[in-house]
């Protein structure tokens, strides 16, 4: 059926499409090689997305220059003759496209095309896409021999594409594994968890090819708040725990892939997203969300790899938290041991020295008596200093910080009708003096603003020490005006900036205001 030159041409074409493992280049090679094999002026490969119904998700073409393509407009989506191949994946060979019943014509600026040959590209038992060829040289129609040649080439192309996809998937998997390793290493090395959260969203965004990403954690209002994001304007945004995809993923602890994500703004364009809960063994601690660019969809493979990354990140966060608490316990244990040794040994020996000196006092030796008395006074001062040190080692600073916060809230609300509640949790012993001063000032400023401006009936203050020191102040008032936000709260923002932390103030869904101030622990 074929002469030697044609057979050689087919072999060369099959070798050409089989070389290389980069998928994008391979698709262009397939189009270019097929055009040369049957002397077609134009060619294209349409890659099919089968969810929820077959459409062309990618269209790689040759023969039309970029300027003309820009004038034509959007790439084909799979209508007319192209749609026929989508719904009926078998060879279509037409002498004149304009005479075919499925033809719907061409858009403005599109070059004329008459002859057409379309062949499906299969990978095992699935149709990956279609190979389209038009305008055979010299205005001739495509022949049965052309059809056989292109079918053979499409078979080789399917195998080559499958190999390229496997190679690409292996590379992608390796990149996800490396990202997981980096996150785990940073966390277990004691890096600031807030910084690691930012690294998590950055790596996930890069590997999914999304448009933006964010990390949300539970807040005191019962919802979720954005605590890390690649878009600064989203920082502090609140999401419903019961009426959002993010909240559902957090509650169900199950990753999901959605085509219409609108949690951040119901009026915004619905975009594809991967919503990935980050979980410890028994509970979810946050949600990682990657949002696609307009017109892009994530695949099931994207979900699988991103979900595995989020699961490993959750495990690393859990191990890092346990490690940090063990270090804190070690510090507290050492403090107790040092305090006990100071009390049981050092103070007792000092008392013994003092008693010995008192016994040596002789009223007739005035100068010696004066010196001994001075030494006894010095020993007493040393004893008092050691007792103070013991008190601090046993957590006196913790008690003082708790008292300072409670007293600040009491002073701000005692002469008002506002009911105040204070909730403090976490190891306050790890908060140093400078950060404790900031914490007291933030609580005092925030509660003062509620009392003076919010017309609130109640205010809730939470101080949590975990990866960061986080202060939350919520009220049920009328909110805070822009003037007050600019003037009265500028100091809180400045303190957050000075500590390398974050500050956000947002309206509560049920009315009132929610203020969150956080700073990394030293």
Q: What is the pLDDT of residues 200-242, one digit of tens each?
A: 888 888 888 889 999 998 887 888 999 999 988 889 888 988 8
At which of 321, 353, 375 does a domain end? 321
pLDDT tens for each residue of 433-472: 889 989 998 998 899 888 888 889 999 999 998 888 999 9
Residues 366 and 417 in one domain: no
Query: Is the pLDDT assigned to residue 152 strictly greater than 70?
Result: yes
Query: Is the pLDDT assigned to residue 428 strictly greater than 90?
Result: no
Query: Is the pLDDT assigned to residue 199 strictly greater than 90?
Result: no
Tell whether 387 is covered by a domain.
Answer: yes
What percentage of residues in the chain have a pLDDT greater than 70? 81
**pLDDT class of 481 with cuts at 50, 70, 90:** low
The whole-number pLDDT of residue 385 equals 64
The whole-number pLDDT of residue 289 equals 94
CA distance 228 to 216: 7
What is the CATH classification number for the domain harbouring 438? 3.30.565.10
The whole-number pLDDT of residue 14 equals 73
Residues 254 and 329 in one domain: no
In the chain, the largest separation of any two C-alpha atoms, in whole Å, equals 136
**pLDDT class of 343 with cuts at 50, 70, 90:** low
Write down the residue that tokens 């700073």 correspond to.
Answer: 519
Give me the residues paired with residue 47 across strands.
Answer: 58, 129
The whole-number pLDDT of residue 483 equals 53
Angle between helical axes of 144-188 and 4-18 (0-180°, round to 10): 10
State how beta strands 419-425 and 458-465 pair.
parallel
The whole-number pLDDT of residue 384 equals 63
Tell whether 18 is covered by a domain.
Answer: yes
pLDDT tens for each residue of 394-410: 555 445 788 889 888 98
Residues 8 and 154 in one domain: yes
Residues 260 and 306 in one domain: yes
At which of 321, 338, 364 does a domain end? 321
The whole-number pLDDT of residue 191 equals 64
CA distance 174 to 467: 29
The whole-number pLDDT of residue 131 equals 92
Instruction: Answer for the pair 61, 43: CB distance below 8 angstroms, yes or no.
Output: yes
**pLDDT class of 52 with cuts at 50, 70, 90:** low
Write down the residue that tokens 């892009």 correspond to.
Answer: 296
Number of structural domains the chain divides into? 4
What are all long-range contacts of 395-400, with beta carbons under 8 Å and residues at least 24 apart? 395/332, 395/429, 397/428, 397/429, 397/433, 397/436, 398/428, 398/429
More confident site: 182 or 128: 128
Domain containing residue 84: 4-169
Q: Collapse the DSSP code of 432 into the 3-class scheme (helix H, G, I; strand E, B; otherwise coil) and give the result.
A: coil
The whole-number pLDDT of residue 357 equals 66
Tell whether 375 is covered by a domain.
Answer: yes
State how beta strands 513-520 and 468-475 pair.
antiparallel
The whole-number pLDDT of residue 471 equals 96
Tell whether 19 is covered by a domain.
Answer: yes
Tell whether 174 is covered by a domain.
Answer: no
Residues 104 and 219 in one domain: no
More confident site: 213 or 164: 213
Section 295-322 average pLDDT:
83
pLDDT tens for each residue of 168-187: 778 878 888 888 887 777 76
Section 119-126 average pLDDT:
88
Give me the residues paired with residue 284 across strands.
Answer: 279
Which structure tokens are listed for 90?
């078998």
CA distance 5 to 472: 79
Residues 258 and 225 in one domain: yes
Mean pLDDT for all residues in the chain: 81
Residues 404 and 379 in one domain: no
Residues 163 and 211 in one domain: no
**pLDDT class of 502 with cuts at 50, 70, 90:** very high
Write down the residue that tokens 């608490």 correspond to.
Answer: 325
Query: Is the pLDDT assigned to residue 364 strictly greater than 70?
Result: no
The whole-number pLDDT of residue 7 equals 58
Query: Is the pLDDT assigned to residue 31 strictly greater than 60?
Result: yes
The whole-number pLDDT of residue 362 equals 58
Residues 415 and 332 in one domain: no
Query: Is the pLDDT assigned to residue 334 strictly greater than 90?
Result: no
Residues 513 and 476 in one domain: yes
Residues 250 and 346 in one domain: no
**pLDDT class of 265 with cuts at 50, 70, 90:** confident
What are all long-range contacts of 256-261, with beta carbons under 8 Å and residues at least 24 apart? 256/303, 257/298, 257/300, 257/302, 257/303, 259/297, 261/289, 261/291
At which of 321, 337, 356 does a domain end? 321
Across 131-135, 269-273, 360-364, 369-373, least confident range: 360-364
Residues 73 and 45 in one domain: yes
Closest among 96, 5, 81 to 44, alpha carbons compared: 81
DSSP character at residue 293: P
């Amino acid at each position: 059926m074929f002469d030697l030159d044609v057979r050689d041409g087919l072999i060369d074409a099959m070798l050409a499409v089989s070389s290389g493992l980069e998928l994008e280049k391979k698709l262009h090679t397939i189009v270019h090689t097929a055009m040369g094999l049957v002397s077609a002026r134009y060619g294209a490969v349409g890659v099919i997305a089968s969810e929820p119904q077959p459409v062309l998700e990618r269209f790689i073409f040759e023969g039309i220059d970029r300027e003309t393509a820009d004038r034509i407009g959007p790439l084909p989506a799979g209508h007319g003759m192209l749609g026929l191949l989508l719904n009926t994946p078998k060879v279509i060979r037409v002498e004149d496209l304009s005479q075919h019943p499925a033809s719907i014509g061409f858009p403005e600026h599109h070059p004329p095309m008459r002859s057409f040959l379309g062949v499906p590209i299969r990978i095992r038992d699935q149709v990956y896409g279609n190979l389209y060829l038009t305008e055979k040289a010299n205005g001739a129609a495509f022949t049965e021999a052309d059809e056989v040649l292109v079918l053979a080439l499409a078979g080789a192309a399917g195998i080559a594409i499958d190999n390229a996809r496997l190679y690409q998937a292996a590379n992608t998997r390796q990149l996800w594994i490396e990202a997981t390793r980096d996150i785990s290493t940073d966390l277990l090395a004691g890096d600031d968890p807030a910084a690691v959260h930012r690294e998590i969203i950055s790596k996930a965004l890069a590997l999914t090819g999304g448009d933006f990403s964010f990390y949300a954690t539970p807040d005191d209002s019962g919802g979720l708040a954005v605590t890390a994001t690649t878009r600064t304007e989203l920082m502090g945004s609140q999401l419903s725990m019961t009426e959002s995809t993010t909240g559902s993923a957090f509650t169900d602890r199950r990753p999901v892939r959605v085509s219409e994500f609108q949690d951040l703004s119901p009026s915004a364009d619905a975009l594809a997203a991967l919503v990935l809960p980050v979980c410890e063994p028994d509970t979810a601690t946050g949600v990682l969300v990657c949002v696609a660019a307009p017109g892009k969809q994530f695949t099931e493979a994207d979900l699988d790899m991103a979900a595995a990354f989020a699961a490993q990140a959750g495990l690393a966060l859990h191990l890092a938290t346990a490690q940090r608490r063990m270090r804190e316990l070690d510090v507290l244990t050492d403090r107790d041991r040092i305090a006990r040794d100071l009390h049981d040994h050092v103070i007792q020996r000092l008392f013994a020295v003092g008693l010995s000196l008192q016994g040596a006092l002789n009223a007739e030796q005035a100068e010696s008596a004066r010196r001994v008395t001075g030494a006894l006074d010095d020993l007493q001062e040393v004893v008092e200093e050691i007792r103070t040190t013991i008190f601090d080692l046993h957590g006196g600073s913790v008690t003082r910080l708790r008292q300072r916060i409670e007293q600040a809230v009491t002073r701000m609300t005692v002469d008002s009708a506002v009911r105040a509640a204070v909730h403090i949790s976490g190891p306050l012993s790890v908060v140093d003096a400078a950060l404790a001063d900031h914490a007291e000032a933030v609580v005092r400023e925030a509660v003062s603003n509620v009392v003076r401006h919010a017309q609130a009936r109640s205010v809730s203050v939470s101080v949590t020490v975990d990866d960061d020191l986080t202060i939350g102040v919520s009220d049920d008032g009328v909110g805070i005006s822009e003037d007050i936000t600019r003037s009265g709260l500028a100091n809180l923002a400045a303190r957050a900036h000075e500590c390398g932390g974050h500050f956000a103030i947002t309206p509560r869904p049920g009315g009132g205001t929610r203020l969150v101030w956080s700073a990394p622990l030293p």
